[in-house]
Chains A and B, each alone.
Chain A
Amino acid sequence: MEKKIFGRMKSHSEPGPGDAGKTGSWRVLRPVIDLKKCIPAKSGKNACFLCWLYCPDGVVTRTIPPEINYEYCKGCEICAEECPADAITMVEEAEFIEMED
């Protein structure tokens, strides 16, 4: 049976990031972690990581210190809201564009 010449085109998607493009472009405000307040950062120990836990998009790493993937962070602010140490502030994206210039 000649299998390969039939059914060559199907809706068959392979896994990969960025189906919606670089969703970092959705942001108006960017979360910035103050490492002096961040619990794992200042203690050097594995602790807290609630920003990693609650991030809906999984763009925070569970590392010391936690790092945010700004290419895909949608700026939902949940990390800032949930951080028990108030270590995350939301900063205008505009400020970072100026810096990159």
Chain B
Amino acid sequence: MHVIESGNVAAATGVKLARARVIAAYPITPQTPLTEKLSELVDSNDMDAEYIPVESEHSALAVCIAASSAGSRAFTATSANGLLYMNEQIHWAAGARLPIVMCIANRGIGAPWTVWNDHQDSISQRDTGWIQLYACDHQQIIDTVIQAYYIAETVSIPVMVCYDGYLLSHTYMPFDVPDASDVDKFLPPFQPAYALDPDNPANLNTVTLPELRPDVRGNTAPAYMEIRHCLHDDMRRAIDVVQKADAEYQKIIGRGGTPLLEPYRCDDADSIAVCLGSLSFQLRDVIDTLRDEGLKIGVLGVRLYRPFPDEAIVSALSGANVVTVFEKALSYGYQGPLFSDIKSALYGQQRTPVIQNYILGLGGREIKTSDLLSALRTTGADSLELSDTPGWIGLKLQEIEDDR
């Protein structure tokens, strides 16, 4: 069924089709209409779920952690400061190996306050052990939310589905809503290995010592480090599962093919632009213009950010001479995180392109196509050495008056 709706509604529809059973959410711009849509779906009995209007984001994820531990499919969504308020729970959900799915309507973080889009919120959570997928348009939002549960429940790792606040959350686009019966074929009911059960009592996630200890049967049990290593190891193996989920989805629903990276005109490209989220679609117009000017250039959208698909990245980029990484986030005091990750993946490869980093769009600063065109025309033309200092696009220091 084709509809024209907002990105937030696309996400809500995905949650409904995925048959989430316990939903907890606290409103925060620009996620709010997503939670409102879900409460409307539950209130009108269009969706069979418990909707719990919690009193904070920290509690929202607490509800999901507990509901998932008790064996029910759980969902929440947030943005920016809400995500940070639940930060300790983010780490908890991953360490507890719970297949929770959460949507992030990407928004910049205070201080100072901003409600507009950038990626600092989800990027700041990249070390937590959550799988991170970035959607570029409304179709990808609804499809990725559904696939997220398949992935999460296969690998017992929570999944964050990120989409740009306002640019996607609040804009209206046409997209296809898959049939519920097809989604049911793709995504069976949640069957955890263990759910809190008085008939089978267990104590979950209590204090875990640094060293190994025997369990009640006398067998040597793992300690904290082994348990955490297991999360990391399973995350690395999740790259295959993300691809498998996409293949299955393509078979049943008919869409997919770019589970890890989304290349556009990269096959013979000398220069490749890389970014997360909807910016990659905006860059396609820039690429087309530059191709008409004779530049052999393409854009690579990164869909799976964590676990980092390093092999796929190396494969996609090592043939280029120049790589330009555009980021709406920054690891303060150093450089863009995606830039660091890509450089790290390319380290030691036989062929290493020149890589340049641009920070842009922070706090919703408009990203002008003309600025993108200039950046991509000049990068590589001038610098044939690696530049570690990120460039800034759209920064307006020179326009500020007085002697700040």
Residues 92-133 of B contacting A (Cβ, < 8 Å): 95-97
Contact B96 A13 (CB under 8 A): no
User: Is B216 interfacial (CB-CB < 8 Å)?
Assistant: yes
- Residues on A with C-beta less than 8 A from B208 are 11
Interface string of A72-99 (1 = CB under 8 A from B): 0000000000000000000000000000
Q: Which one of A4, A6, A7, A11 contacts B204 once the chains associate, using CB atoms below 8 Å? A: A11
Contact B230 A9 (CB under 8 A): yes
Tell me how many residue pairs across A and B have CB atoms closer than 8 Å. 64
Interface string of A1-27 (1 = CB under 8 A from B): 111101111111111100000000000
- Residues on A with C-beta less than 8 A from B84 are none
The range of chain B's interface size is 20 to 34
- Residues on A with C-beta less than 8 A from B227 are 9-11
Contact B193 A2 (CB under 8 A): no
Contact B230 A7 (CB under 8 A): yes
- Please tell me the number of chain A residues within 8 Å of chain B, measured between CB atoms: 15
Contact A1 B204 (CB under 8 A): no
Q: Which one of A3, A6, A9, A14 contacts B222 once the chains associate, using CB atoms below 8 Å? A: A9
- Residues on A with C-beta less than 8 A from B188 are 1
Contact A14 B155 (CB under 8 A): no
Contact B206 A6 (CB under 8 A): no
Contact A7 B205 (CB under 8 A): no
User: Is B331 interfacial (CB-CB < 8 Å)?
Assistant: no
Report the minimal beta-carbon distance from A22 to chain B, rounded to whole angstroms.
14
Question: Whole-angstrom distance between the alpha carbons of A9 and B194 in the complex?
Answer: 12
Report the minimal beta-carbon distance from A11 to chain B, rounded to whole angstroms.
5
Contact A2 B216 (CB under 8 A): no
Interface string of B122-150 (1 = CB under 8 A from A): 00000000000000000000000000001
Q: Which one of B150, B157, B202, B226 contacts A12 once the chains associate, using CB atoms below 8 Å? A: B202
User: Is B201 interfacial (CB-CB < 8 Å)?
Assistant: yes
- Residues on A with C-beta less than 8 A from B157 are 6-7
CB closest chain-B residue, reference A7: B156
A4 in contact with B216 given A9-B230, A10-B97, A13-B206 (CB within 8 Å): no
- Residues on A with C-beta less than 8 A from B203 are 12-15
Interface string of B193-235 (1 = CB under 8 A from A): 1100000011111101000000111000010101101100010
Q: Which one of B95, B150, B156, B201 contacts A6 once the chains associate, using CB atoms below 8 Å? A: B156
Contact B234 A1 (CB under 8 A): no
Query: Looking at chain B's contact residues, is the secondary structure mostly helix, strand, loop, or mixed?
Result: loop
Contact A1 B153 (CB under 8 A): yes
User: Is B237 interfacial (CB-CB < 8 Å)?
Assistant: yes
Most B C-beta atoms less than 10 A away, residue of A3, A10, A12, A15: A10
- Residues on A with C-beta less than 8 A from B155 are 6-7
User: Is B191 interfacial (CB-CB < 8 Å)?
Assistant: yes
Report the minimal beta-carbon distance from A12 to chain B, rounded to whole angstroms.
5
Q: Which one of A4, A7, A8, A14 contacts B215 once the chains associate, using CB atoms below 8 Å? A: A14
Query: Could you jot down 29 A-B contacts, CB within 8 Å?
Result: A2-B154, A3-B153, A3-B154, A3-B156, A3-B191, A6-B155, A6-B157, A7-B97, A7-B155, A7-B193, A7-B234, A9-B222, A9-B230, A10-B205, A10-B227, A10-B230, A11-B204, A11-B205, A11-B206, A11-B208, A11-B224, A12-B203, A13-B202, A13-B203, A14-B201, A14-B202, A14-B203, A14-B216, A15-B216
- Beyond known contacts A6-B156, A6-B234, A9-B227: 16 more, CB 8 A cutoff: A3-B153, A4-B193, A6-B154, A7-B97, A7-B155, A7-B234, A9-B222, A10-B227, A11-B95, A11-B224, A11-B227, A12-B204, A13-B202, A13-B206, A14-B201, A14-B202
Residues of B within 8 A of A (CB): 95-97, 150, 153-157, 188, 191, 193-194, 201-206, 208, 215-217, 222, 224, 226-227, 229-230, 234, 237
Residues of A within 8 A of B (CB): 1-4, 6-16
